[in-house]
Amino acid sequence: NAGVTQTPKFQVLKTGQSMTLQCAQDMNHEYMSWYRQDPGMGLRLIHYSVGAGITDQGEVPNGYNVSRSTTEDFPLRLLSAAPSQTSVYFCASRRFQGQTYEQYFGPGTRLTVT
């Protein structure tokens, strides 16, 4: 199993540009989420999904859109990039049912907005 994969690894955008960060998992996990990581801020939840067709907002959703058309994929869209969105973005997945909340993280996308 590849686990959780993310593309691209690095991206530089100009202010106002749009782009989609890709995330895929092959573990048949129902629950997927996007976090951003900034120095001293830990991991902040952007959006999450408990299954195909269901998404919800996290702590910092403004400026980001998500959709979940399949169990495997959970793309994150930046509609109009701003310098404040410069960050490292992690996608994660886990089982929705069961006793363990263990989340599996992807390798991350390092985004710079100039």
Partner 1 sequence: GQQVMQIPQYQHVQEGEDFTTYCNSSTTLSNIQWYKQRPGGHPVFLIQLVKSGEVKKQKRLTFQFGEAKKNSSLHITATQTTDVGTYFCAGPENENQGGKLIFGQGTELSVKP
Minimum distance, C-beta of residue 82 to partner 1, in the bound complex (Å): 23
Q: Please select the residue that binds partner 1; options are 90, 93, 111, 113, rule is CB under 8 A.
A: 90
Residue closer to partner 1 by CB (options 31, 64) is 31
Beta strands in 3-74 (DSSP E): 4-7, 10-13, 19-25, 31-38, 42-51, 54-57, 64-66
Angle, alpha carbons 67-70-76 (nearest 5°): 30
Cβ closest to partner 1, residue 17 vs residue 104:
104
Q: Site mask, partner 1, residues 17-46, x = CB under 8 A?
A: --------------x-x-x----xxxxxx-
Going 27 to 31 to 32 to 33, the CA torsion angle's sign is negative
Contact status: 8 vs partner 1 (CB under 8 A): no
